[in-house]
């Protein structure tokens, strides 16, 4: 691909920068980036930011214009990600809706579903979560046991989901349920439903993580109700829809490479200022060698991401190559955070204001383990890359 920036693309960047200067929350550009600690206030703050993006025409720039997007070019999308990372913009509360559910409905939803849900996704009026993982079905998603049984004109859904991001904030859930049994092929007989979270049959319990945050949830379903109109794709053929959604998810995760680029710059800056026993850490040749290794791997991953985006544009949809982006982001994030923790030695156990350097590395280190699991484990990504990108034989263990 051509990496040069045209005058039109530079104008796009300036338009976005001007808009950000005028529309980011008050004090944000000056460094006041504290998000509300109260959960209700947090949700209100981020819903407002989602709507601000939409009203400015930045809610989902890669979507078709008829759905509120800009039909942004590849370079415009890259510029958008770069600028959002540059100003450390507030996170997207509707990340799953914007990057996964919306594109999947545009690709596979009925006209009624598009009319009913798409606009509320991009405006932030309805926040979405994803009901995939279960206590005994994570990497082996075909083992899901949550069932949907037809009673009259209703589907009654029973079971349990776990590790559901945004579940405690969500209005809707993109949910997989077993609608029939095909013992010869576990991935058959699964259907994708668009489930209303605000009903008596849905109970959400936040999970406290080792960093003290509550970003994941258990979701219990007891005769939760859905209808035929809430089915995405065909009955019993939700596996295909699930694959399409996860490819969109991994493409979105790949965009986090731009965040990783900034984290690398932050890491270099922190190491330049950090001393142990009066000696600058940067004087250690092994530290400089490690930084060079991180940089080479990060740049290689970024270039591969550009190549995958180019392929997506040509094919009209993401391919299995997006697993490479997901694997690179999650593993590099974990290694970089682990390296920063190791530099601090036993003082790396100190928290917040007691930490010897920016405590964000402690947070990132603890969270990084989950990144190699969520959205498909690193082992699953390696299998996908081996089988569907490199054409290797199937995993002997399956």
Phi, psi angle pair for 20, to nearest 5°: -65, -40
Over 60: is that where the pLDDT of 398 sits? no
Could you read off the pLDDT of 308-340 as tens digits, one per residue? Answer: 777 776 776 667 887 888 899 899 999 999 999
Q: Can you give the pLDDT at residue 358?
A: 82
Distance from C-alpha of 192 to C-alpha of 213, rounded to nearest angstrom: 29
Q: Compute the average pLDDT of residues 377-392.
A: 89
Q: Compute the average pLDDT of residues 257-279.
A: 89
Task: Name the average pLDDT for the chain.
Answer: 89
Could you read off the pLDDT of 133-148 as tens digits, one per residue? Answer: 999 887 778 889 999 9
Range picked from 112-126, 260-274, 312-326 for highest mean pLDDT: 112-126
Q: Compute the average pLDDT of residues 186-197.
A: 91
Q: Domains of the chain: which residue ranges? A: 7-92, 128-238, 250-390
Q: Can you give the pLDDT at residue 3?
A: 67
Over 70: is that where the pLDDT of 94 sits? yes
Where are the alpha helices (H) located in the chain, listed in sequence order? 7-23, 39-55, 74-86, 95-96, 102-108, 111-113, 119-123, 238-254, 257-273, 285-315, 322-343, 360-371, 378-384
Selected residue with higher pLDDT from 358 and 327: 327
Kindly state the tokens that stand for 40: 């209700």
**pTM, to two decimals:** 0.83
156 bridge partner residues: 149, 225
Over 60: is that where the pLDDT of 251 sits? no
pLDDT tier, 354 (very low <50, low <70, confident <90, very high otherwise): confident
CATH number of 250-390: 1.20.140.10
Over 60: is that where the pLDDT of 208 sits? yes
The catalytic position among 249, 256, 261, 364 is 249
Q: Is 249 a catalytic residue?
A: yes
Q: Compute the average pLDDT of residues 366-389.
A: 87
> 5-19, 95-109, 195-209, 235-249: lowest mean pLDDT where?
235-249
Q: Can you give the pLDDT at residue 151?
A: 95
Q: Can you give the pLDDT at residue 215?
A: 84
CATH number of 128-238: 2.40.110.10
Q: Can you give the pLDDT at residue 306?
A: 82
Distance from C-alpha of 2 to C-alpha of 75, rounded to nearest angstrom: 9
Q: Can you give the pLDDT at residue 247?
A: 65
């Amino acid at each position: 691909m051509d990496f040069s920036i045209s005058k039109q693309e530079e104008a796009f960047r300036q338009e976005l920068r001007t808009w950000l200067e005028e529309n980011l929350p008050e004090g944000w550009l000056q460094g006041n980036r504290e998000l509300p600690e109260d959960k209700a206030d947090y949700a209100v703050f981020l819903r407002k930011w989602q709507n601000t993006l939409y009203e400015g025409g930045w809610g989902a720039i890669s979507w078709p214009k008829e759905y509120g997007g800009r039909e942004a070019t590849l370079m415009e999308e890259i510029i958008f990600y770069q600028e959002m990372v540059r100003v450390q913009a507030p996170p997207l509360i509707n990340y799953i809706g914007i990057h996964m559910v919306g594109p999947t409905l545009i690709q596979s939803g009925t006209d009624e579903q598009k009319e009913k849900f798409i606009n509320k996704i991009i405006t932030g009026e309805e926040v979405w979560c994803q009901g995939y993982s279960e206590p005994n079905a994570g990497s082996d998603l075909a083992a899901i046991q949550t069932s949907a049984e037809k009673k009259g004109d209703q589907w009654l859904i029973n079971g349990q989901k776990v590790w559901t991001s945004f579940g405690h904030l969500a209005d809707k859930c993109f949910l997989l349920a077993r609608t029939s049994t095909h013992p010869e092929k576990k991935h058959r007989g699964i259907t994708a439903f668009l489930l209303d979270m605000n009903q008596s049959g849905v109970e959400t319990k936040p999970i406290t993580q080792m960093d003290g945050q509550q970003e994941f949830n258990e979701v219990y379903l007891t005769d939760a109700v859905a209808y035929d109109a809430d089915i995405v794709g065909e009955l019993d053929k939700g596996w295909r829809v699930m694959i399409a959604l996860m490819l969109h998810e991994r493409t979105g995760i790949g965009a986090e490479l731009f965040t990783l680029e900034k984290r690398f710059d932050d890491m270099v800056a922190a190491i330049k200022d950090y001393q142990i026993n009066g000696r600058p850490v940067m004087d250690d040749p092994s530290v400089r060698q490690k930084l060079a290794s991180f940089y080479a791997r990060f740049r290689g991953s970024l270039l591969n991401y550009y190549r995958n985006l180019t392929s997506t544009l040509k094919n009209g949809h993401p391919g299995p190559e997006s697993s490479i982006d997901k694997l690179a982001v999650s593993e590099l994030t974990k290694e970089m955070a682990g390296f920063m923790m190791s530099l601090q030695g036993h003082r790396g156990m100190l928290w917040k204001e007691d930490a010897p350097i920016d405590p964000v590395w402690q947070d990132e280190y603890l969270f990084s383990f989950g990144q190699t699991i969520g959205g498909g484990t690193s082992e699953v990504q390696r299998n996908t890359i081996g089988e569907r990108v490199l054409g290797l034989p199937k995993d002997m263990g399956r």
